[in-house]
Every structure is written in C-alpha cells, then in structure tokens.
Amino acid sequence: MDIDGLIRRALEGERLAIARLISVVEGGGPDLGRVMRELYSHTGSAYTIGITGAPGAGKSSLTERLVARARADGHKIGVLAIDPSSPFSGGALLGDRVRMQSHATDPDVFIRSMATRGHLGGISLATPEAVRVLDASGKDIVFIETVGVGQAEVEITDACDSTVVVVNPGWGDAVQAAKAGLMEIADIFVVNKADRQGTRDTVRELRSMLELSNAPWKPEIVTSVAIKGEGIDELWTAVEKHRGYQEEKGLLARRRRRRIAREIKSIVVASYRQRVDAEAVDVLEELVEEVAARRLDPYAAAARIRESM
Ligand SMILES: Nc1nc2c(ncn2[C@@H]2O[C@H](COP(=O)(O)OP(=O)(O)O)[C@@H](O)[C@H]2O)c(=O)[nH]1
Ligand SMILES: [Mg+2]
C-alpha cells in the first residue's frame, strides 16, 4: 500500500491504516515528513491525557476503565502504551493488550503499544507524531500510558494536556513520585489500590507535599480501586475539571504552544545529529588524530565540523 493510500484510509479512521502509519512514525523513515505534512491540517481536536507512575501501579488497569468511562460519553479513543525500555519488543506489553481486550471489538477504540524502532528523535518525538495519526483519524481523546521513571518518560507525560500520576498506598510512594519529578508535572493524583492499607496516609502525604506549591492549579487527589472500577467516575471528573480549567483560563493554548516550540527544537536537533552522523565521518577521523596529538582542542574540532556542514 502506498503512503497516499495509507494516509487517505487513516483519515477515514481505518484501523489497519492507522496501525501502519504509526509504524511509519516509529520507524522514523524517509516518509515521516510527508506523512506529517499531509496529516497536520487534520489535527488539533484530540485531547491527550498522560497516565504515569511506577511499574505495577495500575496504569493499564486504570486506563482500561477510563476508556470505558470516556466511551460512555461518546468519545472516540486512542491509547498509546509507551515502553521505551524495550525498543524491539512488541511483546513486552502483551499483558496490557490482553487486559485491554474488553475494547478489542470496539471500532472507536484504537490501542497500540509503542517503541521507538529507528526514530532519531527517540520516543519523545515519536509519541506526539503517533498522537497526530490518532487525532487525524478522528480520535478525540488519546491516553498515553508511560512508566514515570526516566527523563524521556517524564518528558512524554509533560507533553500531554492533562497528566495523571498514579501512586499506591504505602509508606514512601508519594516521596518516590516526587523524586522522579512527577510532583511538578501532575495535574491529578490517583492513589490506586485503595483496597489496601495506608491509602489515607498516602493521600495526606501527597496533600502536604502539594501545599508547598504555589501553582494556581491545585492538583486533585482521587482514590481508586481499578480492578473493581471504583473511583473511575471521580477520576474522570477530575480530568474533565482540569481540562475545563485550562480551557477557561487560556492555559491549554499556552501549554500547547510551549510544546510545539519544544517539538520544533527537537526536530532540528535530531536532524543535525543525523547530518553529523552521516557527513562528519571522514573529517571526524582526521580531527580525532589532531585532537589526540594535542594540536587541536575538541571545541576547535567541533567548530571545524560545524563550518564544513
Ligand atoms: N489490589 C489491587 N490490585 C490492582 C488494582 N489495580 C491494579 N491492580 C493489579 O496490579 C497489577 C498491575 O496492574 P497494571 O494495570 O498492569 O499496572 P501498570 O504496570 O501500572 O500498568 C495487576 O495485577 C492488577 O490486577 C487495585 O486497585 N487493587
Ligand atoms: Mg501497564
């Protein structure tokens, strides 16, 4: 199937075409620029919700419930489960896929686990591109599940319209979330596995940490038992409230502009890296000799490469 055909069919919402375009995005191949050019004018209606937290916190279970909740309101849904730690495995998230199977026959739910195969900009560039494919294909809510450890992961979550941070009851979970840098990016906290002991302590702990912040939006704290579907309505309401707040105050537009700026810069950096890798090979070898022999310092060598490009 040629790219134009794929794009046309993806715009009509056809699953197979959507899946294949996301693969194009993951691969970061030569068609990427064209795909983005064709799709971009069809995007802008999807609202993205990041779900992040430690492995096993219940992100997938919550996402599955949220999908059902959002479907009840008639939303069309995309789900991206990001697993940057295993770049070559589609299989790592098999468990997730099995769990998400309750939506498998719903044509208005598209679920996909993602890894960066060859994408130069890494997962932090591939993810917004995949979101655009879903957006252009008519999905108006996109959930992005990612493990909240590591810089790339936090970056991805930070690039969503609303960010939900999942923690579990138990001494120190809130502290761990804070250490991972999740305190700053959380718009909503959910203490999942509230069927376990210590839920109230964790809520209290989160609340006292949040008191230190003087940001205008005070993140809501919700409790849930994802496996029983408890707390899902409250969580969804909290997300919608955050969305409403941002839209009302003009914050969503500002957040998206910041994100666009960051994305453009990442694309430039990625393309420079590609050029340096491709074009500087020969001259690099010579320069290494010069630098090793102390005839040139590394900064001067870098300047020569820049001039030669
Ligand atoms: N007791 C309890 N277990 C849960 C709850 N939510 C999820 N789990 C279980 O926790 C495990 C990890 O859940 P999963 O959704 O895969 O977490 P993820 O790694 O964050 O995506 C699974 O065995 C779930 O069945 C909950 O509210 N209570
Ligand atoms: Mg998961």
The sign one gets for the Cα dihedral 9, 15, 16, 22 is positive
**Nearest residue CA, atom 13 of ligand 1?**
58
Probe residue for ligand 1, chosen from 51, 61, 222 as the CB with the greatest number of ligand atoms within 8 Å: 61
**Cβ of 107 below 6 Å from ligand 1:** no
- Going by pLDDT thresholds of 50, 70 and 90, the confidence category of residue 101 is low
**Cβ of 195 below 6 Å from ligand 1:** yes
Instruction: Determine the distance separating the centroid of ligand 2 and the alpha carbon of 284, expressed in angstroms.
Output: 43
**Cβ of 197 below 6 Å from ligand 1:** no
**Cβ of 57 below 6 Å from ligand 1:** yes
pLDDT at 9 over 80: yes
Predicted pLDDT at 89 = 40
Atom index in ligand 1 nearest the CA of residue 96 equals 16
Cα angle vertex 138, ends 135, 140, to 5°? 65
- Please tell me whether residue 216 adopts helix, strand or coil conformation: coil
Pairing mode, if any, of strands 77-82 and 220-224?
A: unpaired
Provide mean pLDDT across the span 57-77: 96
CA dist 167 to 9, 51, 163, 183, 276, Å? 39, 11, 13, 11, 42
What is the distance between the alpha carbons of residues 179 and 195, in angstroms, rounded to a whole number? 25
**Cβ of 114 below 6 Å from ligand 1:** no
Specify the residue for token string 């999905």: 139
Of all residues in the chain, the percent with pLDDT exceeding 70 is: 91
**Nearest residue CA, atom 3 of ligand 1?**
193
* Cβ neighbourhood burial of 66 (10 Å; 0-12, 13-18, 19+): buried
Ramachandran bin of 199, using left for φ above 0, alpha for ψ from -120 to 50, beta for the remaining angles: alpha
- Contact of 38 with 137, CB cutoff 8 Å: no
**Cβ of 109 below 6 Å from ligand 1:** no
State the alpha helices, DSSP H only, in the chain. 3-11, 15-27, 32-40, 59-72, 94-99, 123-136, 151-158, 173-179, 182-185, 199-210, 232-248, 251-279, 281-292, 298-308
- Contact of 77 with 70, CB cutoff 8 Å: yes
Average pLDDT, the chain: 88
**Cβ of 260 below 6 Å from ligand 1:** no
Instruction: Determine the distance separating the centroid of ligand 2 and the alpha carbon of 93, expressed in angstroms.
Output: 7
pLDDT tens across 184-228, in order? 889 999 999 999 999 999 999 999 988 888 888 999 999 999 999
**Cβ of 192 below 6 Å from ligand 1:** yes
- Contact of 203 with 170, CB cutoff 8 Å: no
CA-closest candidate to residue 110, choices 153, 81, 150: 81
Atom index in ligand 1 nearest the CA of residue 61 equals 15
Which of 72-76, 96-100, 135-139, 267-271 is least confident?
96-100
Please tell me the pTM assigned to this model.
0.90
Predicted pLDDT at 122 = 75
Provide mean pLDDT across the span 79-92: 59
DSSP 203: H
pLDDT tens across 21-49, in order? 999 988 888 888 899 999 999 999 999 99
Atom index in ligand 1 nearest the CA of residue 196 equals 1
Provide mean pLDDT across the span 246-264: 93
Single-letter code of the amino acid located at 130: A
- Going by pLDDT thresholds of 50, 70 and 90, the confidence category of residue 94 is very low
Ligand nearest the Cα of residue 229 is 1
Predicted pLDDT at 30 = 83
Instruction: Determine the distance separating the centroid of ligand 2 and the alpha carbon of 220, expressed in angstroms.
Output: 22
Instruction: Determine the distance separating the centroid of ligand 1 and the alpha carbon of 112, expressed in angstroms.
Output: 19
